[in-house]
Amino acid sequence: MRAGETLRLLFRGPTAIVAAAVLLVLIVTAFLGEQLAPHDATGTDVSNRLQAPSADHWFGTDELGRDVLSRVILGAEVSLRVGAVAVGISLVAGVLIGLLAGYYGRWVDDVLMRLSDVLFAFPAMLMAIAVLAILGPGSTNAMIAIGIVYTPIFARITRASVLSVREEVYVKAARSAGAGDLRIIGRHVLPNVTAPIIVQTSISLAFAILSEAALSFVGLGTQPPDPSWGRMLAEGRGFVEQAWWMAVFPGLAIFVTVLAFNVLGDALRDVLDPRQRQAMAGTGVTA
């Protein structure tokens, strides 16, 4: 299927359009960040602490008098960056592992996939916390930790597709013409396994952002004073009764972002590979 056709089918219905629009707004927000924020996100103003939402502070202020809206805006950049880099790591590592395991089979497959299984066997959060316990807290290490956690998912999905593409007649045709493994993998296998990988990327972005928020919530991700949705949620938790806005707005931001990525991922899956729906339901992918 050609790219233009895919996009046309994808944006047939309103849900995918809305999801894509939300994500576009988020990405623009993340890029502009400082320029968009009405106040200094890290500047404290104790005399204005715990102010309810008003014309000046749309989302209110936190316990140090910082503008919640500005912090949510700057938090978008953190969340998207950590999510994108983390998924980038698992995408590259996972696809590479999946290609090698699926294409070469035998002991290569056994070694790589058993290692993946070991990683996969741990609950995602526990695994990420363990990695951060070794590397130390911080947003860079959070990216690495989340990247490691999601690598086996990409490895499995890629491998499954490679196993079927490997047996295609056009692969044999390339081999009969004298193509080496590198050429076959790069030119014939990889381009034909992209659909499920694209879908998984979109869905993983949602989970990665959720994981970053969770890690920051427990204090292992983004460190203060940098704004992070997860951290803001954690800080707001103590003030839920006096200042609901401190927790509700960053929570909403996480909710909307994750939902948008999930909806887009689902729509992509419907368009790119309707059969994949069942295959992935079986892997038990959860945050």
The residue ranges that bind another protein (CB under 8 A) are 2, 168-170, 172-180, 183, 187-188, 191-192
For the chain, what's the residue count? 287
CA distances to 145, 253, 268 from 208, rounded to whole Å, are 10, 14, 18
Comparison of 114 and 187: residue with beta carbon closer to another protein: 187
Residue 163: CB minimum distance to another protein, A = 16
Comparison of 180 and 224: residue with beta carbon closer to another protein: 180
Residue 16: CB minimum distance to another protein, A = 24
The residues pairing with 67 across neighbouring beta strands, listed in sequence order, are 61
Comparison of 7 and 25: residue with beta carbon closer to another protein: 7
Give the H or E element holding residue 209. helix 194-217
Comparison of 131 and 272: residue with beta carbon closer to another protein: 272
Dihedral pair phi/psi, residue 111, rounded to 5°? -65, -50
Residue 199: CB minimum distance to another protein, A = 17
Comparison of 35 and 176: residue with beta carbon closer to another protein: 176
Classify the C-alpha dihedral 253-256-259-260 as positive or negative.
Answer: negative
Token pair, residue 208, equals 């990665």
Residue 183: CB minimum distance to another protein, A = 7
Buried b (16+ CB within 10 A) or exposed e, 118-148: ebbeeebbebbbebbeeeebbbebbbbbbbb
Residue 170: CB minimum distance to another protein, A = 4
